[in-house]
């Protein structure tokens, strides 16, 4: 750990160490280096939201956000794009996603922000139940 308690390195039972490089101001992880020396880099906007990540293979994931800070698009390392839609301008929870093939999933949420249903592109509905503790 560093002087302010941020994780700098982690060693497993076999003695292999993974290193973490946090930004000195935000504390957000900007680089992870695995025991074999392969590194991944992470970039953030001024709201501390991940905007891109580059893996050890050089492939990049990119994220875009709207003016409210909500994720609206994610571009995978292979160029596939997933779009996120919101039906409430005051909600950070998406009501739908659409992937690169045009397949759409819709979601409903409780007033407490718990996922209630996911309906896939074929119309199959997966329901989620939560107890009074939100689990």
pTM metric for this prediction: 0.81
Provide the pLDDT for residue 133. 86
Q: Give the pLDDT score at 2.
A: 87
63 assigned to some structural domain: no
Q: Is residue 50 part of a domain?
A: yes
What's residue 40's pLDDT?
Answer: 98
Would you state the pLDDT for residue 120? 95
Q: How many domains would you assign to the chain?
A: 1
Contact predicate 118/126, CB 8 Å: yes
Q: Tell me the pLDDT of the chain (135 aa) as tens digits.
A: 988 889 999 999 999 999 999 998 999 999 999 999 999 999 999 999 999 999 999 999 999 999 999 999 999 999 999 999 999 898 999 999 999 999 999 999 999 999 999 999 999 999 999 988 888
Domain of residue 7 covers: 1-56
Rounded Cα distance, 135 and 132, in Å: 7
- CA proximity to 40, closest of 56, 61, 22: 56
């Amino acid at each position: 750990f560093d002087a302010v308690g941020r994780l700098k390195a982690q060693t497993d039972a076999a003695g292999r160490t993974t290193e973490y490089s946090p930004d000195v101001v935000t504390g957000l992880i900007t680089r992870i280096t695995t025991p074999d020396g392969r590194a991944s880099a992470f970039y953030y906007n001024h709201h501390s939201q991940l905007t891109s990540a580059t893996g050890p293979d050089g492939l990049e994931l990119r994220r875009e956000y709207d003016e409210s800070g909500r994720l609206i698009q994610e571009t995978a390392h292979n160029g596939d794009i997933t779009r996120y839609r919101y039906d409430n301008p005051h909600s950070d929870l998406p009501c739908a996603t659409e992937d690169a093939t045009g397949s759409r999933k819709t979601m409903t949420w409780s007033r407490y922000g718990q996922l209630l249903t996911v309906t896939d592109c074929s119309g199959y509905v997966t329901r989620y139940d939560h107890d009074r503790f939100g689990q």
